[in-house]
Amino acid sequence: KDHMLYRKAVKTDSSEISGKDIKLKECLQLFTEPELLPKDNAWYCPQCKEHREATKQMSVWRLPHVLIIHLKRFSFHNFIWRDKIDKLVKIPLRGLDMTPYILGEAANQITPDTAPIYDLYASVNHYGNVYLGHYTASIKSPVGDSTEWLFYDDQSVTKIPQKNVVTKDCYVLFYRRRDI
């Protein structure tokens, strides 16, 4: 699966991986996928007082009006060897549907009118490597129903085409829920 490439990118030198880009949806699926805890991080059972093999799973029970997604862009293999993950993650500018990731009572209450659909309105970018870098931001113009995007780089602000918003340098994503 494509999301296995991201898992491999997180665990290995990302320069070894080529080929398909990764979709944000695949990252979210991987984030909510059950994970077997390794023996050196086994779960301690309070009843039998022993470490046991177990799985952990992240789940979403409620979603905010503003959803902030932080992409893992740095991999720390050990104290010395660190790497930046610069794989392109394909990020939807409009229509990020979070319905598949909600569990519990909230999931049963979703209707077509209340579906948690999000639109990107800003992203933070990181250029450089693990040891040094530069941050910029791409922000959708707050004027009216504008589709204009602005690029903030220190003291300069320039207009950018929508196609330049999503890059391999996207690091933090800011989404606004449509039903607000």
pTM for the whole structure: 0.76
pLDDT band at 79 (very low <50, low <70, confident <90, very high): low
Band (pLDDT 50/70/90 cuts) for residue 5 is very low
pLDDT in tens, 41-73: 888 889 998 888 888 888 888 889 999 998 877
Which residues are within 8 A (CB) of 136 and not within 5 positions of it... i.e. 6 or more apart?
Answer: 124, 125, 127, 151, 152, 153
Residue 124 half-sphere exposure, CB side, CA atoms within 13 Å?
A: 14
Higher pLDDT, 123 or 1: 123
Question: pLDDT per residue over 130-140, tens digit each?
Answer: 777 898 999 99
144 CB contacts (<8 Å, ≥6 apart)? none
Q: Which two tokens stand for residue 145?
A: 């129903």
Per-residue pLDDT, averaged over 82-101, amounts to: 85
Handedness of CA 93, 68, 85, 37 (dihedral sign): negative
Residues making up the chain, counted from first to last: 180
Q: What is the pLDDT of residue 147?
A: 79
- Give 13-73 as a DSSP string: -GGG--S--EEHHHHHHHHTS-EEPPGGGPEEETTTTEEE--EE---BS---SEEEEE---
